[in-house]
Amino acid sequence: MKIRVSDIKVKNRIRKDLGDLHGLKSSIQNLGLLHPIIIDLDNKLVSGERRLECVKLLGWEYVDVRIVDVRSKKERVLIEAEENNVRLPFTPEEQERAQKLLRRYSHTGILGRLFAWLMDLWEWFWSWLFKS
C-alpha cells in the first residue's frame, strides 16, 4: 500500500541519531525501497525512520508502507527494537563473495553472459563434487 510521505507521523522514537544516510539513500535511489516502512493504523511510524528520511530527501511524494495493528506501547517498542536489532550483517567472506558475483554479472553482451554462466556451472560442479 502507498501513502503520502507527508501523512506519516514521527513521534517518540528510540533512535535519536539517524547516522549517515548516504548509502541508504543511494540504495533507495538505485533499487527502490526494498522494505516498506511500517506504520500503525493512525499513520504513526513504527519502524523505518531512516528509510522515511531518505525518501523525503529524494523528494518522493508517496511511499510503500505496511500497516500493523499496534496494541500497546510495549508492542510498539518491541517492533522498533526487533526491526533494528535482529539483523545479521554479511561476514567479510560473504561481502567478498557478493563483490565477486557483482563483478561476474556485470559483464555485458553474449560473451559476458556466457562467461558468467560458465563460472556458475564451474562453481556448481565443484560444490557437487565435494559434497558427495
Q: What is the extent of the structural domain holding 72?
A: 1-87
Query: How many folded domains does the chain comprise?
Result: 2
What mean pLDDT comes out for the span 122-128? 89
User: Quick check: pTM over 0.85?
Assistant: no
Cite the DSSP H helix spans in 20-91: 22-31, 49-57, 73-85
- Domain containing residue 62: CATH number: 3.90.1530.10
In this structure, the answer to whether residues 3 and 21 fall within a common structural domain is: yes
**What angle do the packed helices 22-31 and 49-57 form, to 10 degrees?**
70
In this structure, the answer to whether residues 4 and 55 fall within a common structural domain is: yes
Condensed to tens digits (0 to 9), the pLDDT of residues 14-69 reads 888 999 999 999 999 999 999 999 999 999 999 999 999 999 999 999 999 999 99
Condensed to tens digits (0 to 9), the pLDDT of residues 89-116 reads 788 999 999 899 988 888 889 998 898 8
Report the first-to-last Cα separation within the chain, whole angstroms. 47
In this structure, the answer to whether residues 104 and 71 fall within a common structural domain is: no
Exposure of 32 by Cβ count < 10 A (0-12 exposed, 13-18 middle, 19+ buried)? exposed
